[in-house]
Amino acid sequence: MSEANPPENAEYTVEIDDGRAWTPVCRYQDLLPGRGIAVLVGPQGEQVAVFSERGGAVHALANRDPFSGAHVISRGLLGSRGSVPVVISPMLKQAFDLRTGRCLDEDHAPDGATAHLRVWPVRVVAARLAEAC
Amino acid sequence: MIEKSLVLVGHGMVGQRFLEALSEQPAAGQPHRWRVTVLAEEPRPAYDRVHLTSWFSGTSAEELTLCPPGFIEQHGIDLRLGDPATAIDRRARTVTTRSGAELRYDALVLATGSYPFVPPVPGHDAAGCHVYRTIEDLEAITASARHATVGAVVGGGLLGLEAAGALRAMGLETHVVEFAPRLMALQVDDGGGAVLRRKIEDLGVHVHTGAGTRRIDADENGRARTMALSDGTGLAVDLVVFSAGVRPRDQLARDCGLPVGERGGIAVDEHCRTPDPHIWAIGECALAVDGRVYGLVAPGYAMADTVARELAGTGAEFTGADTSTKLKLLGVDVASFGDALGTTEGALEVLYANSRAGIYKKLVVSADGRLLGGILVGDAESYATLRPLAIGKSQLPGPAEQLLVPAAAGRQGPLVLPDEAVVCSCHHVSKAAIRAAVSERGMRTVPEVKKCTKAGTGCGSCVKLLGSVVAEELEAGGIEVARGLCEHFTHTRAELYEIVRVKGITGFSRLIDEHGSGEGCDICKPAVASILAALGNGHVLDGEQAALQDTNDHFLANLQRNGSYSVVPRVPGGEITPAGLITIGEIARDYGLYTKITGGQRIDLFGATVDQLPGIWRRLVDAGFESGHAYGKALRTVKSCVGRTWCRYGVQDSVALAIELELRYRGLRAPHKLKSAVSGCARECAEAQSKDFGVIATSEGWNLYVGGNGGMTPRHADLLAADLDHDTLIRTIDRFLMFYVRTADRLERTAPWLGRLEGGLDHLRAVVMDDSLGICAELDELMARHVETYEDEWAATLADPERVRRFVSFANAPGTPDPTVRFVHERDGIRPARPEEDGFPLAPALIAGPALEVRTR
Ligand code: SRM
Ligand SMILES: Cc1cc2nc3c(=O)[nH]c(=O)nc-3n(C[C@H](O)[C@H](O)[C@H](O)COP(=O)(O)OP(=O)(O)OC[C@H]3O[C@@H](n4cnc5c(N)ncnc54)[C@H](O)[C@@H]3O)c2cc1C
Ligand code: SF4
Ligand code: FES
């Protein structure tokens, strides 16, 4: 699952499955609809971009922009292409499907790698964020 | 699958193209896989020799590279730089290299290019004599030019003129010596040569045609000092560039007994294969089956494709190529295409010449009215349309003379092009293929068509024509070419501005729900954000507006290539106190930032990470600095010259006015950025005429110029009004700006806006000075509101913890700096580390500013 529809209530936490367990990463109200934030996930400290759409759905994708190599996807604008919800990289403006991470503009990055963003499982739960966060 | 070895000798333009073409061949159906070794003589991978001259104007060797990062590794290629092939043993099927390596091959591809021909005149090897082919050659020329004042180029062909331009640009007095009676003898005729010569002489280059080089004499240090010409002229020169043609590098082939042409070139058949079935030759070193050695890159690329397909078992032929050329030599457009010199039997010529304007055009037409070729000097606009017609030997779409006179330009649309006409010669894409991409494969935009046909992805010279073919085909298919902002709004920016203003809309959600569709995108969101800001809807980071801003506006700073940001405080009019300079210096030092004076008379601090921005700005704001809006589509700078206060020529206080204007319009959000300047007299040291609005002092008052632009399409501003007094000047600028903000398209600077404004400058003057539309009161009021409600975005951001909260690296680890933002040292400063480099993350500030928050647990 890569998206979640959270309830209206404010006391909710966003969690990402880092491969070992669901880990809280931020409060739901930290997310500004239509924008993203960056969080660190897992033992390797991987950078993940978390977004909430205007309609409320939450998505988590890799933060590294394959075209520039910079970790800036979380600073992109959200929008839509046809019926596809997208995030647009702030660097060179390629669009990525928020649900699958697929790049809609190019198949490959300049270094030859496939231009795909890893999608992380994300959910919103009614729990208080741990003090540590 | 069996693996076979392929050795490519030469990693130049054609060699690289060959590697790419080979990697693009479908893997399925291939008889075997190729293990590729490349022997390269030069110390670096293939680079763009065609644009070599741009190295002189600052394009770096890295930027010229043709080898995409990771390409070599990804395709498992063994690239051996600086290790040229020295011998071929055809019986054993091995190649020996300079370092002594011996490589076996199943297929050997020679792409060794050519070498510059140096006429064997006495003294040709003196110090200060150079050739022009590689980056090392240019480095040597630059080094030599440091001690030189007069340069001569031997050879007035295409390359010679490029070299002359480079010498000129380095400030040398420059001569061009050409043996033939005219310049560019291969491409243009006498008439064209004469016009070209005049234009080039106007640029201060001395041209000697019909003259050979006799002798070069050196001084006691062995450095060239004089040059004697065959017409008796003696030139005092201390730098010579030979550009007298090239010769194919066919020595390897000669030495192993492969046939070469009488005037050089490795002889190949229509598959670019030599008589040895294991050896191919492509590019400038090859003598093609039509008996020609091609000195241009496009035929070389076609040969590379041919051999790549041969090796993949798909079969292909190269039987000859078009040698049309279009270039800008020293700023003069020159094009020649098809049978330019009229050598076809019965060919007729149609001429148009205007020596005052420096234009010469000739079409070569067959007796039955087909276009065979032509020459264009001074105005090569119609090249894109005419060349395909000539290559297809097509019937002329109208009287030949009409194609030549400028007034007929409108008739030269792509509709007159026959279907088989080649629109993109780099990738050999015909008009029919482009039309099919639109009508059959459903492509709707130029980028889509580029992606699926490859047209326009080479040199780029066909992109304009490509655009019109696509547009015509869409129109012909009854597909509406969308006029709206993007897929979410069918309105233009100006229409949306009116909707927002009249309906009093204050948020994006309401606008898109009532007047658009979908969720928006990177085009409409920032455009709407700018409209909302221009109509005074509060801080750009508040409420829903925050989600609309492009990343620069979102962090009130400019995103750089590695994800760090730059910070530009406002320096109104470019006036800054010593204390201000010291403060900026201290902040940059404490945060380890790179500093640079911008082209806009202020200081840019580079390398800040997101989480450092509030700290940096707190110190700047405390020292009295404000946001410079370098990130916004807003007023940037009002540059000034020092003016009457100090300058002995100045007639008004240009600095005071520049400061006043910058403070008045700071923060004004507009369809695009706005720039201005004020000069203290007609000498125009502030370059006001290249600005969106520029002011030049007169003894009577101020002249106001509007619609100027630097950048990609420079335009001199038009004089809107002369000798204005201070108050009238300000009022006129107020109205001009607000009228622009209200009616321009998204990302339309004032120059193109004015260019398309119906009624032009006269209409604009009537609107803002005589109130012909009756809107001046409204425009005045909007500006008054802007001036009253202006607040510094950064000060306001820092005052509100909610706004500051977004400036964190990671929401769940706010104190951790982003470890991927790394820098290296360069020239006493820092720069972003390149992907292959190890860098260091920026250290936190050494000294905390007095106002930095201290967190207690
Ligand atoms: C920093 C600076 C270069 C420098 O180191 O000197 C600069 C840097 C950028 N310029 Fe510029 N321009 C800078 C002066 C200029 C000038 C000179 C001037 O202002 O007198 C020009 C030509 C004048 C003009 O605009 O008419 C200029 C014409 C452009 C253009 C072409 C605009 C056009 O209409 O054709 C672009 C591209 C665009 O805006 O679409 C551009 C775009 C940019 C961008 C925004 C490119 C980008 O998207 O990253 C650069 C970002 C700035 C940053 O990261 O801080 N920059 N740029 C200069 C900042 C001046 C300042 O103090 O604000
Ligand atoms: C300044 C300049 C401007 C030009 N402008 C234009 C233009 O506007 N339009 C146009 O069409 N063309 C232009 N050209 C010509 C164009 O650059 C050439 O047609 C093109 O580079 C030919 O490609 P190539 O691969 O055959 O040769 P090259 O690019 O010269 O590559 C050959 C490579 O092989 C290497 N080599 C040679 N011998 C060996 C060996 N024994 N072992 C290993 N390596 C070897 C060479 O060092 C070189 O790197 C221009 C050329 C110059 C110099
Ligand atoms: S524009 Fe005139 S007043 Fe200003 S510095 Fe130049 S010469 Fe002096
Ligand atoms: S002609 Fe060069 S890209 Fe099309």
Cα torsion B439, B445, B450, B456: sign: positive
How far apart CA B654 and CA B686 sit, in angstroms, is: 9
pLDDT of residue A111: 80
- The average pLDDT across A1-19 equals 67
Give residue B66's identity as a one-letter amino acid code.
L
Mean pLDDT of B520-531: 90
Query: How far does Cα B149 stand from its chain's mean position?
Result: 30
Structure confidence at residue B138 (pLDDT):
94
* Cβ pair B145, B239 in contact under 8 A: yes
Distance CA A87, CA A65 (A): 11
Contact present, B400 and B352 (Cβ < 8 Å)? no
Q: Which amino acid residue places its CA nearest to atom 56 of ligand 1? A: B711
Cβ proximity of B634 and B664 under 8 Å: no
Question: How high is the pLDDT of residue B94?
Answer: 97
Q: Tell me B71's DSSP state.
A: H
Q: Encode pLDDT of B690-718 as tens digits.
A: 999 999 999 999 999 999 999 877 899 99
Band (A131; pLDDT cuts 50, 70, 90): very low
| Higher per-residue pLDDT: B195 or B798 | B798
Strand B558-559 versus strand B246-248 pairing type: unpaired
Token pair of A27, please?
Answer: 């409060």
Residue B848 has pLDDT above 60, yes or no: no
pLDDT above 60 (res B855): no
Instruction: Please answer whether residues B637 and B666 qualify as being in contact, where contact means their C-beta atoms are separated by less than 8 angstroms.
Output: no
Rounded CA gap, B456 and B435, in Å? Answer: 14
Nearest-CA distance A60 → chain B (Å): 13
Judged by phi (left if over 0) then psi (alpha if -120 to 50, else beta), residue B10 lies in: left
Find the closest chain A residue to B565 by CA distance.
A72
Of B71, B554, B812, which has the smallest distance from its Cβ to A75's Cβ? B554
- Between CA B621 and CA A114 the distance in angstroms is 44
Q: Would you say residue B254 has pLDDT above 90?
A: yes
Is the confidence at residue A17, as pLDDT, over 70? yes
What's the whole-number mean pLDDT along residues B81-97? 96
DSSP H or E segment with residue B229 = strand B224-229
Give the whole-number percent of chain B exceeding pLDDT 70. Answer: 95
DSSP letter for each residue of B76-130: T-EEETT--EEEEETTTTEEEETTS-EEE-SEEEE---EEE-----TTTTSBTEE
* Segment 87-126 of chain A within 8 Å of chain B by CB: 88, 90-91, 93, 95, 105-106, 110-113
Q: Which of A33, A37, A111 shows the shortest C-beta gap to B70? A: A111
pLDDT band at A12; cut points 50, 70, 90: confident
| Beta strand ranges found along B644-724 (DSSP E) | 674-679, 693-697, 702-706, 718-724
Per-residue pLDDT at B430 exceeds 80: yes
Determine whether the shortest distance from the Cβ of B193 to ligand 2 is under 6 A.
Answer: no
Residue of B819, B815, B852, B615 whose CA lies nearest to A133: B815
Please tell me if the CB atom of residue B715 comes closer than 6 angstroms to any atom of ligand 1: no
Dist CA A47 CA B819 (whole Å)? 10
The rounded distance, in Å, linking the Cα atoms of B288 and B300 is: 10
Instruction: Give pLDDT, residue B460.
Output: 63
- Name which of A13, A10, A58 is nearest A34 in CA terms: A58
Kindly state the average pLDDT of the residues B10-27: 91
pTM of the model: 0.55
Q: What is the mean pLDDT of residues B178-186?
A: 87
| Res. B458: pLDDT tops 80 | no
B189 Cβ partners below 8 Å, 6+ apart? B182, B340, B341, B342, B362, B375
Average pLDDT, chain B: 88
How large a percentage of chain A has pLDDT more than 70?
A: 87
Express each pLDDT in B735-788 by its tens digit: 999 999 999 988 889 998 998 888 889 999 999 999 988 899 999 999 999 999
Any chain B CB within 8 A of the CB of A29?
A: no
Q: What is the mean pLDDT of residues A94-119?
A: 89
Tokens of B19: 């590697």
**A73 at B interface, C-beta within 8 A:** no
Contact B484, B512 (CB under 8 A): no
Q: Tell me how far apart the alpha carbons of residues B112 and B10 are, in angstroms, rounded to a whole number.
A: 5
How confident is the model over B647-656, as pLDDT tens digits? 999 999 999 9
Q: Lowest mean pLDDT of B185-194, B514-523, B626-635, name the range.
A: B185-194
CA–CA separation, A63 and B759 (whole Å): 50
How far off is chain A from B403, nearest CA to CA, in Å? 39
Residue B627 CA to ligand 1 center (angstroms) comes to 16
- pLDDT average, residue stretch B385-413: 66
pLDDT at B392 over 80: no
Nearest ligand to the CA of B324 is 2
DSSP assignment letter at B653: -
Q: How far apart are CA B130 and CA B116, in angstroms?
A: 10
Cβ contact A20:A129 at 8 Å: no
Residue B291 to residue B319: CA distance in whole angstroms: 10
Instruction: Tell me, letter by letter, the H, E, C secondary structure of B294-353.
Output: CCCHHHHHHHHHHHHHHHCCCCCCCCCCCCCEEEEECCEEEEEEECCCCCCCCCEEEEEE
The answer on pLDDT for A128 being more than 70 is no
- Residue in B240, B88, B112, B234 with CA at minimum distance from that of residue B164: B240
Structure tokens at A43: 């033992």
DSSP string, B742-806: HHPPTT--HHHHHHHSTTHHHHHHHHHHS-TTS-HHHHHHHHHHHHHH---HHHHHHT-HHHHTT
pLDDT for A133 equals: 42
3-class secondary structure, B824: strand
Strands B107-110 and B3-9: parallel
Check CB contact of B548 with chain A, cutoff 8 Å. Answer: yes
Q: At what angle do helices B493-503 and B726-743 cross, to 10 degrees?
A: 100
Instruction: Report the pLDDT averaged over residues B518-538.
Output: 87
CA B185 to centroid of chain Cα atoms: 29
pLDDT at B202 over 50: yes
Pocket mutation for ligand 1, best pick of B530, B555, B558, B749 (most atoms within 8 Å of C-beta): B558
Top pLDDT among B729 and B802 is at B729
Q: Give me the mean pLDDT over the A99-128 stretch.
A: 86
Q: Hey, is the C-beta of B814 within 8 angstroms of any chain A C-beta?
A: no
Asked if residue B209 has its Cβ within 6 Å of ligand 1, the reply is no
Structure tokens at B718: 């038009």
Instruction: Identify the DSSP state of A75.
Output: G
What's the CA gap between B95 and B93, in Å, rounded? 7
Note whether ipTM > 0.85 here: no
Q: Are B393 and B367 in contact (CB under 8 A)?
A: no
CA–CA separation, B503 and B556 (whole Å): 29
Q: Please compute, for residue B731, the number of CA atoms within 13 A of its CA located in the half-sphere on the CB side.
A: 15
From A62's Cα to the closest Cα of chain B, the distance in A is 13
**pLDDT level of residue B466 (50, 70, 90 thresholds):** confident
Chain segment B129-155, per-residue pLDDT in tens: 999 999 999 999 999 999 899 999 999
Q: Are strands B107-110 and B279-281 parallel, antiparallel or unpaired?
A: parallel
Residue B411 pLDDT? 37
SS3 state at A16: strand
Residues B786 and B801: their CA atoms lie apart, in Å, by: 25
pLDDT in tens, B290-331: 898 998 888 899 999 999 998 888 777 887 777 777 776 666
In this prediction, residue B696 carries a pLDDT of 96
Strand partners, B453: none
pLDDT at B461: 65
pLDDT at B367 exceeding the cut of 60: yes
pLDDT at A28: 87
Closest residue by CA, ligand 3 atom 6: B685
Given a contact cutoff of 8 angstroms between Cβ atoms, the answer to whether B821 and A38 are in contact is no
**What's the confidence (pLDDT) of residue A10?**
47
Nearest C-alpha in A relative to B807: A37
Question: Tokens 């085009």, residue?
Answer: B523
Give the chain A residue whose CA is nearest to the CA of B834.
A69
Cα–Cα separations (whole angstroms), residue A107 to A70, B26, B446 = 18, 17, 17
Share of chain B above pLDDT 90, in %: 52
- Whether residue B797 contacts residue B600, with contact meaning beta carbons closer than 8 Å, is answered with no
With a CB cutoff of 8 Å and minimum separation 6, the contacts of B522 are A76, A77, A79, A88, A93, A95, B550
pLDDT of B394: 77
For B531-560, how does the pLDDT look when each residue is reduced to its tens digit (9 = 90+)?
A: 998 887 778 778 778 888 888 888 999 999
Q: What is the mean pLDDT of residues B269-285?
A: 96
Average pLDDT on B20-41 reads 86
| pLDDT exceeds cutoff 80 at A3 | no
B4 CB-near residues (< 8 Å, 6+ apart) = B32, B33, B34, B35, B106, B107
Q: How many CB atoms lie within 10 A of CB B787?
A: 15
Map residue B388 onto helix, strand or coil. helix
Q: Which residue has the tokens 């080479």?
A: B458
Q: Which residue has the higher pLDDT, B312 or B287?
A: B287
Reported confidence tier of residue B424, pLDDT bands at 50, 70, 90? confident
